Structure 1
Amino acid sequence: GKVASLLYERYKNGQLPIAMVSMDNCSHNGQKLQDAIVAYAKGWVKNGKADEGFVEYLENPAKVSFPWSMIDKITPRPDASVEAMLEEAGLEDVKPVKTPRGSFVAPFVNVEETEYLVIEDAFPNGKVPLDLGGIIYTDRDTVNNVEKMKVTTCLNPLHTAMSIYGCLLDYDKISEEMKDEDIVDLIRIIGYDEGLPVVVNPGILDPKQFIDTVIGVRLPNPFMPDAPQRIATDTSQKLSVRFGETIKSYLNDENLSTNDLKLIPVVFAGWIRYLMGIDDQGEGFEISADPLLEEVRPVVANIKLGDIVTEETLRPILSNQKIFGVDLYEAGMADEVVEIFNELIEKPGAVRKTLHKKVTEAKEAKK
């Protein structure tokens, strides 16, 4: 609303052109920003608070543009070591605050060195030459394809896979997980073998090289103290994009079969196992915030280690397209997820045993 009011002032003072560059970390962010601004404007026009021409101004790309952008720079929760360093340097009031939703905010940010920023080249009033500093200007379709490459194949699926198993195996740092051969094999096979066959290649960044950097440089970085618990936040909102799009691509390609997806079902079964809030040693742990916890946790509430679960028990989760982007029954993956889940809950230590078994089987299948 405040942004809309500022644009209205610009409209009244000559309808000067401007680019409203959204930096929100979500797909089609420029479109979402435009829809929100125009909704305010139409409401104000309807209520007699603004001129009718204001909406025309906002919907004219020669006057006001809403470029799409894709930003990729892993930003973990504020780290205690950085806090201590700043306090030693004499800065005051730098302690992070935990919000009611379980996230953290602080007056400082610790981030990785690797970064990508791709912006749609739609600037009706001219643009700053940020490309001289490594930012990429391109067309809207390419921005969208870079986003798809990152979110559905080359980074986010790997992050989610290792966050789930990192929590179950009691890791508190992503960099420490990258010393675990089973977890590294898990994300390598999901990225290179299951994702790359259906990757959207944006042209300006090479998907394989992107994964090379993720696995070889970004995730092992010990100076980026990211935590699987942070990444596990809102997992129910992420699975449909991070894995569902790959499954849909396999279903829509007559040369591919979901039977070739050996480790994505391991991630799904691992997430359901994670919802039990019990680690691989049989000890309880705090589940990260997620808007669907009240809906999905009751499904596993009465399951204990050593139980054998039928597919009917897990059906409310497995058939939920809102979670996976597809109905896992229709995708032919539900039975396998149930089978893996039963292996994961066999006894303490079963998570490690099952993960090792599944990545070994996947590696053997490649030979």
Structure 2
Amino acid sequence: MSEIHSGTLRARGIHAMDYDRSTITPGIVHLGIGAFHRAHMAAYVDSLLAKNPSWGIIGASLRRPDTRDALQPQDFLYTLAIRDASGTKPRIIGSILDVLDANTQRAQLIETMADPSIRIVSLTVTEKGYCHDPSTGELDEKHPDIVHDLAHPETPISAPGIIVAALERRRQRGLAPFTVMSCDNLPSNGKTAGRIVRRFAELGGAGTDLADYVQSVSFPSTMIDRIVPATTDADRSIVADITGFDDAWPIMTEPFTQWVIEDDFPAGRPPFESVGAELVEDVEPFELMKLRMLNGSHSTMAYLGYLSGYQYVNEAIADAGIAKLVHGLMTEEAMPTLPMARATLEAYRDQLLARFANPALKHRTWQIAMDGTQKLPQRLLGTIRDRLKAAQPFPRLALGVAAWMRYVTGIDEAGQPIEVKDPLAARLRQIADEAGRDPEKLANGLLAVTEVFGTDLPQVAVFRDTVTNHLKSLLENGAKEAVRRLG
């Protein structure tokens, strides 16, 4: 069986690029070239390159060279395998022209970003890649990476530091800035990215015109949506059987994809709308809908599902109790906080429930449960704050928070260890170990983590009591029974 390679695609009859890849030139640098980007933005760009060949992508891995090492031998081509109950449909993506490893090719990366042909720098670096305080959305000026980058601006390691270094080089050369487009699951992700990058420039550009230059940079917000499970060896075998290629890193995804973008690109942009993206003046209503309905439900399902013994999302939603809880969370608790038409929200809810049940998409509850301290503020706590302001109950949201608390103890209901992947995992485990199985001590200890809960929520008695009572039920009765008792 041969490796995937640009010269052998059409001979195999595989759906591939309808453009001459040798004519494609880069117009985008993408920081954080992970699975989601390759299933989402890279696929949109691939669809428009036939008529717009100057918008190829140069990817950059900021932490590990895994993606570069996997894709380089196959000309950075890869298979996007779209799966549902009817089967798996492969598509070869060619929009990524190169991938740079920021650890060993940092200077080349910054120089590439400073090239005038690059008009957009996009990001999927996850919440923690922004080096910010999730409870405030501000730059964490004491973050080790930020401290390093301010002291060593020529060799930055953080996304904000790399972006500012490239912008400074463009400023020095008299070039217009590129547009910075965040594609991460952050509330008002463009505004968040702009606030962080501008503050970094203020701190690092004292006595220069850098801060003023960065003020002119555009940071459009986006709402992105596509479920992308981690690729397994079994997935690689399936793709090889279908295509006849050994693809080192195929991407598995669902048929559904959504991209809403604020149309603010002074340096120019490709016609994203021609390939299905929605260009709008304000992305916030769409983003809030996704965060509170999809992401909030996903996190709640992940913790309750994992604790209930379900490895995959489709297994969790097949549980009648969890399905009822998720439907109620979206309908009764999240939807009333959203500024969109009821019919639009109901249609979106039903679409989500169908997507969750897709048996072909093996989306692991453990994968969704990762980095909970970064996710909870946006996915659950913002909705809870709005419910509190309206004096409305939030029992299902509170159960989701309590399930996270139970999960980060690191021990499942069978007494087996849970591999808790989180930036604060060690601290969370210490709190759990000190509290033992006392729900009040455990809740109080975790609620004191201000990076997650801020200083306001822990002072609200109804929030503290509701979460603590759910945590007690989870510890005493287990997740399935706690869900059943909620009704």
- Shorter-normalised TM range: 0.7 to 0.9
Aligned amino acid, residue 334 of structure 2: G
What is residue 72 of structure 1 aligned with on the other side?
A: 225
Give the stretch that moved more between structures: 22-31 or 232-241.
Answer: 22-31
User: Conserved in 2, the CA contact under 8 Å of 1:169 and 1:279?
Assistant: no
| Aligned-pair CA distance for 1:318 | 3.3
Counterparts of 1:243 and 1:345, CA distance in 2: 21
1:213 equivalent to 2:390? Answer: no
Pair 1:56–1:274, CA change in 2 (3 A): closer
What is residue 147 of structure 1 aligned with on the other side?
A: 287
Select which of 317, 322, 343 maps to 2:473.
343
What is residue 6 of structure 2 aligned with on the other side?
A: none
What is residue 135 of structure 1 aligned with on the other side?
A: 277
What is residue 186 of structure 2 aligned with on the other side?
A: 26
Counterparts of 1:333 and 1:44, CA distance in 2: 40
Aligned positions, number: 325
What is residue 363 of structure 1 aligned with on the other side?
A: none
Counterparts of 2:318 and 2:302, CA distance in 1: 14
Select which of 294, 319, 327 maps to 1:180.
319
What is residue 314 of structure 1 aligned with on the other side?
A: 443
| Aligned-pair CA distance for 1:161 | 0.7
| Aligned-pair CA distance for 1:87 | 3.8
User: Conserved in 2, the CA contact under 8 Å of 1:154 and 1:211?
Assistant: yes
1:162 equivalent to 2:295? Answer: no
Aligned amino acid, residue 460 of structure 2: E
Pair 1:32–1:313, CA change in 2 (3 A): closer
Q: Secondary structure at the match of 1:119?
A: strand
What is the 5 A alignment of 1:109-124? 109-124=251-266
User: Conserved in 2, the CA contact under 8 Å of 1:319 and 1:329?
Assistant: no
Pair 1:237–1:2, CA change in 2 (3 A): closer
Counterparts of 1:205 and 1:131, CA distance in 2: 24
Q: Deviations over 1:247-282 (max 9, x none)?
A: 2112222xx33xx222222222222222333333x2
User: Conserved in 2, the CA contact under 8 Å of 1:146 and 1:205?
Assistant: no
Q: Secondary structure at the match of 1:356?
A: helix
Normalising by structure 1, report the TM-score: 0.76
Pair 1:58–1:92, CA change in 2 (3 A): same
Indicate the RMSD between aligned Cα atoms, in angstroms. Answer: 3.1
Counterparts of 1:204 and 1:57, CA distance in 2: 43
1:261 equivalent to 2:415? Answer: no
Q: Please list every run of 5 or more consecutive structure 1 residues that lacks an aligned counterpart in the other structure.
A: 95-106, 361-367
Aligned amino acid, residue 481 of structure 2: K
Give the stretch that moved more between structures: 33-42 or 241-250.
Answer: 33-42
What is the 5 A alignment of 1:194-205? 194-201=333-340
Counterparts of 2:427 and 2:166, CA distance in 1: 41
Counterparts of 2:188 and 2:398, CA distance in 1: 28
1:250 equivalent to 2:392? Answer: no
Counterparts of 2:342 and 2:332, CA distance in 1: 22
User: Conserved in 1, the CA contact under 8 Å of 2:337 and 2:386?
Assistant: yes
Pair 1:128–1:314, CA change in 2 (3 A): closer
Q: Deviations over 1:97-148 (max 9, x none)?
A: xxxxxxxxxx322122212111111122444322122211112xx2123222
| Aligned-pair CA distance for 1:155 | 0.9
Counterparts of 2:285 and 2:374, CA distance in 1: 20
User: Conserved in 2, the CA contact under 8 Å of 1:65 and 1:122?
Assistant: yes
| Aligned-pair CA distance for 1:34 | 4.0
Q: Deviations over 1:300-352 (max 9, x none)?
A: 32667xx6x362453222354432354345141323333332332236xx332
Normalising by structure 2, report the TM-score: 0.59
Counterparts of 1:158 and 1:87, CA distance in 2: 34
User: Conserved in 2, the CA contact under 8 Å of 1:299 and 1:313?
Assistant: yes
1:296 equivalent to 2:428? Answer: yes
Counterparts of 1:338 and 1:200, CA distance in 2: 30
User: Conserved in 1, the CA contact under 8 Å of 2:163 and 2:197?
Assistant: yes
User: Conserved in 1, the CA contact under 8 Å of 2:179 and 2:218?
Assistant: yes
What is residue 101 of structure 1 aligned with on the other side?
A: none
Q: Deviations over 1:54-99 (max 9, x none)?
A: 6544433xxx4232222111222113332112344454472xxxxx
Counterparts of 2:206 and 2:435, CA distance in 1: 54
Counterparts of 2:443 and 2:268, CA distance in 1: 55
What is residue 231 of structure 1 aligned with on the other side?
A: 368
User: Conserved in 2, the CA contact under 8 Å of 1:277 and 1:285?
Assistant: yes
Aligned amino acid, residue 207 of structure 1: L
| Aligned-pair CA distance for 1:12 | 5.8
Counterparts of 1:335 and 1:41, CA distance in 2: 43
Pair 1:132–1:93, CA change in 2 (3 A): closer
Counterparts of 2:162 and 2:179, CA distance in 1: 16
What is residue 279 of structure 1 aligned with on the other side?
A: 412
Pair 1:135–1:178, CA change in 2 (3 A): same
Q: Secondary structure at the match of 1:20?
A: strand
Pair 1:274–1:53, CA change in 2 (3 A): closer
Pair 1:319–1:38, CA change in 2 (3 A): closer
Counterparts of 1:133 and 1:204, CA distance in 2: 28
Q: Secondary structure at the match of 2:485?
A: helix
Counterparts of 1:192 and 1:40, CA distance in 2: 40
Aligned amino acid, residue 182 of structure 1: G
What is residue 97 of structure 1 aligned with on the other side?
A: none
1:59 equivalent to 2:189? Answer: no
User: Conserved in 1, the CA contact under 8 Å of 2:222 and 2:259?
Assistant: yes
Pair 1:108–1:331, CA change in 2 (3 A): farther
Counterparts of 2:468 and 2:209, CA distance in 1: 58
